[in-house]
Amino acid sequence: MTKYKTEFKIKVVKEYLEGNIGYKGLAKKYSIPDHSTVRNWVNAYESRGYEGLKVSRKSNSYSLDLKLNVVDLYLTGEMSYQSLANEFKIDNPSIISRWVKEFKEEGIEGLKSKKKGIPSIMPNTDKNKNLKNKINKTKKEISEIEKLRKENYYLQMEVEILKKKIQFSQMTQEEIDRYLKSLDH
């Protein structure tokens, strides 16, 4: 993906905010491959100002609790990817869509941080013994346990979601806003 300079992004965003041209027109005018890039810049600028458009050289890591909270809010229909990204200061809404996809496929395990890099190929006798012991368990037992864990987790999430829906249905808009702001801290 092409990296654009912050000054260029500011120029495009300000031109959009003047109201004379839309996302598609700006993308075409400045040869930006996708108009959603312009939309993301505008949203980032509106939610975080100049900081939202800075090119980040660091890789953000997000806690499991934050990921679960964001996924829960999305799945309960409370907020869109973009509004969640703005609210939680997440650089790109597509990160949230990836979290939702991983959660749907793997449950909470899909949201946990993954080890990076190439696994070691050095022999380790303790690891080899453990591996042989695990292989001795039947694959059927392991898959059944995993299936039950996943089913249990989804049922727990369903109960939590229903509790949240009931809680939100009994709150005023002001109380909901205060609650969402408290999650930011």
Domain range list for the chain: 6-53, 62-185
Helices (H), 21-138: 23-29, 35-48, 50-53, 64-75, 81-88, 93-106, 125-136
Q: 124 falls in which pLDDT band (50, 70, 90)?
A: low
- The more confident residue out of 119 and 36 is 36
Whether the per-residue pLDDT at 115 is higher than 80: the answer is no
Whether the per-residue pLDDT at 25 is higher than 70: the answer is yes
C-alpha pair distances (Å), 94 with each of 74, 97, 138: 13, 5, 39
Q: How many CB atoms lie within 10 A of CB 120?
A: 8
- Given a contact cutoff of 8 angstroms between Cβ atoms, the answer to whether 85 and 93 are in contact is yes
Whether the per-residue pLDDT at 59 is higher than 70: the answer is no
pLDDT the model gives residue 156: 92
Burial of 95 (0-12, 13-18, 19+ CB in 10 A): middle
Whether the per-residue pLDDT at 19 is higher than 80: the answer is yes
Across 23-37, average pLDDT? 88
Whether the per-residue pLDDT at 11 is higher than 70: the answer is yes
Q: Taking the mean position of all CA atoms in its chain, how far away is CA 56?
A: 17
- Given a contact cutoff of 8 angstroms between Cβ atoms, the answer to whether 75 and 161 are in contact is yes
For the chain, what is the mean pLDDT? 80
Q: 145 falls in which pLDDT band (50, 70, 90)?
A: confident
Whether the per-residue pLDDT at 92 is higher than 80: the answer is no
Which of 96, 9, 6 lies closest to 57 in space, CA to CA? 6
pLDDT digits (tens, 9 = 90+) for 164-177: 888 878 888 888 88
pLDDT the model gives residue 178: 86
Which of 112, 99, 103, 111 lies closest to 154 in space, CA to CA? 103
